[in-house]
Amino acid sequence: MQDKPFSQACENNKPFILKELLKHFANASKVLEIGSGTGQHAVYFAANLSHVQWYCSDQSDYHSAINAWIDDTPSENLHRPVALSFPDDDLPLVEFDAIFTANTAHIMQNDQVKAMMQKVAAKLPSKGVFCQYGPFTIKGQFSSHSNLDFHQHLLDIGCGGYRGIEELQQFAPSLKLLAPITMPANNMLLVWHKR
């Protein structure tokens, strides 16, 4: 583990996310992960969701990390990463019925988040599911003071900062949001269904 990029946050949140994915991806067959990052989520979820084919994606800079995790923890249903960067790239041609992303929207710029939401909405079939994990605001309100501080830090280093759930809904009106699921560490899981 020491020779691969490692995120403690991924280790902390993966069992809680998996508990929800087992429910919301129960009928899924092909899942695209947007922003696979270190690869930790991919190897864990693929191993525990054996009924789905799990496809990784991220900017090319992250592929060596993702592949290192796959090399150490391979699964027959886990696929190597493809290059994906918003707003320019299209989603892979595979016909996905579910999409997952974690901790991406607050890193991206506004045009990137808008492109992601619109391309996810266009890609998913009717009744397809998009599970989006991370910190968000509701009606402009932060869930904790630490989230407000982190949002300001993100802006200071050039990231886009926290996204409002209402803004995401406006970007993708063909996606219907279920009630946000409260997760540990002031995060949420947004479960979107294609209308």
DSSP secondary structure of 151-186: HHHHHHTT----EEHHHHHHH-TTEEEPPPEEETTT
Count up the domains in the chain and report the number: 1
Judge whether 44 lies within some domain.
Answer: yes
The pLDDT tens digits for 7-63 are 999 999 999 999 999 999 999 999 999 999 999 999 999 999 999 999 999 999 999
Provide the domain limits for residue 140: 8-194
Judge whether 190 lies within some domain.
Answer: yes
Which CATH number goes with the domain that contains 148? Answer: 3.40.50.150
Judge whether 88 lies within some domain.
Answer: yes
Whole-angstrom distance, CA of residue 119 vs CA of residue 138 = 23
**What pTM value is reported for the model?**
0.96
Judge whether 2 lies within some domain.
Answer: no
User: Hey, CA dihedral for 117, 120, 126, 127, is it positive or negative?
Assistant: negative
Length of the chain: 195
Judge whether 1 lies within some domain.
Answer: no
